[in-house]
Structure 1
Amino acid sequence: METDDTNKTETPENSPMSHSEILREQISEALDIYDKTNASIFLSSLTAGLEIGFSFLLICVVTAFFNNENDAHLIWKLNAFVYPVGFILVVLGKSILFTEQTSLLTLPVLNRKSKVSDLFKLWFFVLAGNITGGMLISLVSIWIGPQLGIFDTSTVQKVATHILHGDLTVIFVSAILAGWLMGLLSWLLTSSDSTISRILVIYIITAVIGVMGFHHSIVGNIEVFSGLLVSDNIKFTEYVSFLATAIIGNAIGGVVFVALLKYKAFAYNGND
């Protein structure tokens, strides 16, 4: 006799994850990364730096396409629609991106399963891979764009100048907000149970970063480094200052406003 499945209640497998379950999953995922070799972490991070370059390519395409038809403010808002593409490729492809992993990798330290020195070493390899990959895709982008006729070097300069238009204080606070959102992205992805929902979460969070103009160190590295290569108006010191400020801001946003607060909220709830 066949049973009727229409009246089945929601099972634990498809019910929403609790705060403690998300935290345990995040710590477990982070520990898996800690167990990887340095070479594996660097190569995965290098891949992420390359893949996220597709966001930069699309930003240049949109900027060049609408340059003569819309004012500059509208162009930067339109760019927010294509900004998430690189993030989707990176996150769903499981490459290691510094801003997504910042809060995640801090959790084992807060839980006393890893040491601070191990965290900083891991961050070093992740950043080295992300930045190196970004530089490589920068070289490809500033060559292929003009060759295909989809944008020219003046567009690259325009994008880089836009990223650098604020002073370092503005960039720093903006980067904190971007790091905060990227930390939340990692947290939300853990509670998402389907590819479609994960894509939607990635798109919404990163589109907010794009439309608000918040500074993301890894995408920003590609944008400003590309501008440095094609323009005499952008100095190497500006590039280094921007990159250092954005990295520190992103790290603070992810560690303080996501990892620390969410971990403490769990701890104060009386759980181990």
Structure 2
Amino acid sequence: MNKNNEEEEKKKKQEKVDQEIDGSDQQQDGTKTKSHGEILKQQIIEGCETYDRSWSSILLSSFTAGLEIGFSFLMLATLHHFASGYFAEEVVFKLMAFVYPLGFILVIMGQSILFTEQTSLLTLPVLSNKRSLGSLFRIWGLVILGNLVGGLLIALTLVWVGPKLAIFTELDIEKIGLHMVEYEVFTILVSAILAGWLMGLLSWLVTSSKETVGEIIVIYLITALMGFTGLHHSIIGNIEIFSAMLVSPEITILEYIQTLVVILAGNAIGAVFFVALLKYRAFVFNVKMP
């Protein structure tokens, strides 16, 4: 009997939460900041819209994102090549943070599906009982597959064309890749969790923005922070490490796969726990039952 009462209470609580979210209408005054409920409502709606897309559309959009984020790697390698003669190596890697956001801006503003930017967004419909956990894992699988395949293709292209155009060398590619894998597994995991956390916040803040310029500034600041601190991002990291593996014997395929899996796991944990779960539960705890 107690179990039935608990289930009934949970059902009533969820219905009340849904009512509060659905009642979170956008402010008429465009100068006012969106409320927590408004952002949450929009994120859930956008997440559900992604679930409702065909698998071929999701796969193609995520494949496109994997290609487009490669332009960040193009700029990283080019800047590394031309700045290395003027600055110390550690300074060059800090300067690279200023061009790191380019691919992210192209992907997010172009509405392509990027795993880390969509991780918390796709989790919210599950937390609000609008989609199942199984459907979440299926859509994650499609997005990751598309992102990685697109990244591998652009990596193959850039590794060939960069030296041909003399904008960077294989040595530049190797140094960037080694910079990603030179840490212990646990260090990479924690770094990836922080990166996933930031990407989840990026998604939340982009939704809260009212203008395109504001969205671009948010994307630039957060991804530049990731680049400056060297946090591990799975999708561009896939390109960096795979490219280095192609030109350097110091990175094995086993090391590439292991590092990529750890980063993917860390990114997912950071976005799901520190953004989706905490933001959603903070709203739920504020809902008062009559």
Corresponding residue to 1:68 among 85, 88, 103: 85
Q: Deviations over 1:193-234 (max 9, x none)?
A: 111111000000000000010000000000000011111111
Q: Distance in 1 between matches of 2:91 and 2:106?
A: 26
Determine the C-alpha separation between the residues in 2 that align with 1:156 and 1:15.
46
Task: Specify every segment of 5 or more residues in structure 2 that has no aligned partner in the other structure, as ranges.
Answer: 1-26
Matched, 1:221 2:238: yes
TM-score normalised according to structure 1 size: 0.95
Match of 1:195 in 2: 212
Which residue matches 2:150? 133
In the alignment, structure 1 residue 49 sits paired with structure 2 residue 74: no
User: Is 1:116 the equivalent of 2:143?
Assistant: no
1:174 aligns with 2:183: no
Corresponding residue number in structure 2 for 1:5: none
Structure 1 position 78 matched with structure 2 position 105: no
Asked if residue 207 in structure 1 is aligned to residue 224 in structure 2, the reply is yes
Name the amino acid aligned to 1:139.
L
Asked if 1:265 corresponds to 2:266, the answer is no
Equivalences, count: 263
- Aligned match for 2:44, one of 27, 36, 44: 27
Counterpart amino acid of 1:62?
A: L
Q: 1:239 aligned to 2:256?
A: yes
What's the secondary structure of 1:166's corresponding residue?
Answer: coil
What TM-score does the superposition give when structure 2 sets the normalisation length?
Answer: 0.89
Distance in 2, Cα, partners of 1:271 & 1:55: 46
Q: CA RMSD in A?
A: 1.1
Evaluate the alpha carbon distance shift between residue 157 and residue 188 of structure 1 in structure 2; reply closer, same or farther with a 3 A threshold.
Answer: same
Structure 1 residue 158 corresponds to structure 2 residue 175: yes
Per-residue CA distance 1:22-70 (angstroms, 9 max, x = gap): 0000000000000001100000000000000000010000111111221
Higher helix share: 2
Q: 1:15, CA displacement in angstroms?
A: 2.1
- Quote the Cα distance in structure 2 between the aligned partners of 1:129 and 1:256: 24
Question: What is the aligned counterpart of 1:106 among 118, 123, 131?
Answer: 123
Q: Kindly state the Cα deviation for residue 14 of structure 1 after the two structures are TM-superposed.
A: 3.9
Question: For residues 127-151 of structure 1, what are the alpha-carbon distances to aligned partners after superposition, in whole Å with 9 as ceiling and x for unaligned?
Answer: 0000000000001100110111100
Q: Quote the sequence identity (%).
A: 53
Deviation at 1:167, TM superposition (A): 1.0
* 1:105-159 CA distance string (max 9 Å, x none): 0000000000000000000000000000000000110011011110011110111
Bigger shift: 110-119 or 66-75?
66-75
CA distance in 2, matches of 1:167, 1:268: 38
**Residue 72 of structure 2 aligns to a residue in which SS?**
helix
How far apart in 1 are the matches of 2:83 and 2:99?
Answer: 13
Give 1:88's match in structure 2, choosing from 72, 86, 105: 105
| 2:160 is the counterpart of 1:143 | yes
Q: 2 CA distance for matches of 1:63 and 1:220? A: 16
Query: Which deviations, in whole Å up to 9, do the C-alpha atoms of 1:65-98 show, x marking residues without a partner?
Result: 1112211110110000000000000000000000
Task: Indicate how the Cα distance of structure 1 residues 104 and 271 shifts in structure 2: closer, same or farther if over 3 A, else same.
Answer: farther
State the partner residue of 2:11: none
Shift of 1:12: 3.0
